[in-house]
Amino acid sequence: MLIGLARTSTLEQEAGLEAQKRMLGAAGVEKLFVEQTSSVGPRPALEAAIEFSREGDTLCVTDLSRLARGVHDFCRTQTRLAEKRVDLRVLTLGLDTATPTGKLMLNVLASVAQFEREIMLERQREGVARAKVEKRYKGRAPTARAKAEEVRTMAAAGVKKAVIAAELGISARSVFRILAGGASDTP
């Protein structure tokens, strides 16, 4: 059975998701799993696709980046598929792990993708460092610090810390830090 996996990182990438669905449908995918989540967080559709797959099936993705963020992640997923004797097909690359050449090429391409990501992150860090030197870097907006007074007011009213965090859209850790009088609670 040909099993498809379509993924975008955010809900705003609807067009990209629809394009993946069309491409997977055209490839003959019989069962499609779809998720809109970052590849670095939990991947429920990927987990469901792997769980659903049986020996002799093929998991199909449009692009390697839809499956994994880096070499380690790719290797872990590929190992899980291999243990179940499930092949992997990447449509944009025309690669299929049903062949020895396909297995080799997927590993090489995963390494190249990891290298590209590391170069991109290095450039990003260099840009941030340059912006800091030029005093143009503002950083992330301090959401928890801006809500410190609300946190204290809610806590004084007897609201539980986890509820405060959920209602204000900040982490529970930030709530604890603010209530403990930590340095990060002042704007």
Does 53 participate in catalysis according to the annotation?
Answer: no
Q: Where are the alpha helices (DSSP H) in the chain?
A: 14-26, 44-52, 71-83, 100-133, 143-146, 148-156, 161-168, 172-179
Could you tell me whether strands 95-96 and 87-90 are parallel, antiparallel, or unpaired per DSSP bridges? antiparallel
Q: Is 135 helix (H, G, I), strand (E, B) or coil?
A: coil
Q: Is 96 helix (H, G, I), strand (E, B) or coil?
A: strand
The mean pLDDT of the chain is: 87
Q: What is the model's pLDDT at position 11?
A: 65
Q: The tokens 């810390």 sit on which residue? A: 161
- Angle (nearest 5°) at CA 32 between 6 and 93: 50
123-132 pLDDT tens trace: 999 999 999 9
Per domain, the residue ranges of the chain are: 2-115, 143-185
44-57 pLDDT tens trace: 999 999 999 999 99
What is the rounded CA–CA span in Å between residue 145 and residue 174? Answer: 8
Residue range 147-162: average pLDDT? 90
Out of 9, 39, 65, 111, pick the active-site residue: 9
14-64 pLDDT tens trace: 788 899 999 999 999 999 999 987 766 788 999 999 999 999 999 999 998
Instruction: Provide the whole-model pTM.
Output: 0.58
Contact between 31 and 52 under an 8 Å Cβ cutoff? The reply is yes
Top CATH class, 2-115: alpha beta
Contact between 93 and 109 under an 8 Å Cβ cutoff? The reply is yes
> Percent of the chain at pLDDT above 70?
94
Q: What is the model's pLDDT at position 8?
A: 86
